[in-house]
Amino acid sequence: MIKRIIKNIACFGLQTSNIESQSGFTLVELLVAMTIGAALSIGLVMTVRTVFSTNSSVVNRVTAINQVQNAVDYISRDSQTAQAQNGSYVSSTDSNSNAILTFTIPQLPNGEAAPASIIYTVNNDTLTRNGQLIATNIPSGGFTVDVSGVRYVSITSTVTGYRSATETRIINLEP
């Protein structure tokens, strides 16, 4: 009986040594690998998120700049044409307190008759020129005209989203 117990112990010892000699990962090694993998994944996700938020910010900024530049181009050209043709410009507001800028141009530089007047209006958040859309996302008060003293037009466009962007330009109407 003692021989059988010793034999069983010896066999058990051989079996455990065979198990230990098998290759594989220990629990500690797996936990370390999973921790490193998780840290790399978190870093990758944060990098991708930063890239997308930066892209959104840049797109909003470019949109705001383009809208303001578009409005500046139209208003500057109309202002210069009105002054060159001894025209005039006035500003007013409508019943909803929306800014209105009107340029009167007698004729175009090539001698053709010009429209009697070119009217810029702001309704809600859009700037229009004789009914044609010039810019959107113009916030309340984003289009202002000062007719006292130095005459200028201030245009602001704000594009909202994940990251908002605002652009403001001032056009001096006096030569």
In a domain? residue 117: yes
DSSP 3-state assignment of 55? helix
pLDDT in tens, 115-143: 677 888 877 778 888 878 888 777 766 66
Token readout for 45 is 């996700």
Token readout for 113 is 């008759």
pLDDT in tens, 4-45: 666 655 555 544 445 555 678 899 999 999 999 999 999 999
**In the prediction, which pLDDT does 96 show?**
65
In a domain? residue 6: no
Count: domains in the chain: 1
In a domain? residue 143: yes
Cβ neighbours for 65, distance < 8 A, ≥ 6 positions apart: 157, 167
Average pLDDT (142-148) is 59
In a domain? residue 68: yes
In a domain? residue 116: yes
Whether the pLDDT of residue 111 is over 70: the answer is no
- Domain, as residue range, for 126: 50-172
Distance CA 65, CA 75 (A): 15
In a domain? residue 11: no
Percent of the chain with pLDDT over 90: 11
pLDDT in tens, 70-94: 888 888 888 777 777 676 777 666 6
In a domain? residue 19: no
pTM above 0.85, yes or no: no
In a domain? residue 5: no
